[in-house]
Amino acid sequence: MPAQEVFGAIPAVEVLRCMIDKKGVWDRKEHFWKHIENTAFVCACSPPGGGRNELTPRFTRHFNLLCLPEPSHTSLTRIFKEILDGFFTNFEFA
């Protein structure tokens, strides 16, 4: 994660926020506006700490936030077992 500036902004996150707000970005090399259409942003975040910074409310307001607990070992085993069982039922073994 990029470091915070003196005023608390994170430049990379602010560029993403501006791209979502304004539906595009300014090309600094060619000096024209690049309009972005039909794009979905999906973010995965962890709690702040260990080099991760807190995201600003100005950025997170664009997303639906879901907080999910870590699944138990039993749940993960069941999920992957069902996936693999469904995958291997299509094959005939000699």
Asked if the structure places residue 2 within a domain, the reply is: no
Asked if the structure places residue 1 within a domain, the reply is: no
Which residues are paired to 80 by β-bridges? none
Asked if the structure places residue 46 within a domain, the reply is: yes
pTM (two decimals): 0.58
Q: With the C-alpha atoms ordered 79, 63, 13, 10, is the resulting torsion angle positive or negative?
A: negative
Asked if the structure places residue 24 within a domain, the reply is: yes
Q: What is the pLDDT of residues 14-65, one digit of tens each?
A: 888 888 888 998 888 999 999 988 988 888 877 777 777 788 888 888 888 8
| Predicted pLDDT of residue 94 | 60
In what helix (H) or strand (E) does residue 81 lie, and over which residues does it extend? Answer: helix 73-88
The confidence band for 66, taking pLDDT boundaries of 50, 70 and 90, is confident
Asked if the structure places residue 72 within a domain, the reply is: yes
The confidence band for 78, taking pLDDT boundaries of 50, 70 and 90, is very high
Asked if the structure places residue 94 within a domain, the reply is: no
Alpha carbon distance 77, 8 (integer Å): 42
HSE-up of residue 57 (Cα within 13 Å, Cβ side): 0
- Give the residue numbers spanning the domain of 49: 11-88
Domains in the chain, number:
1
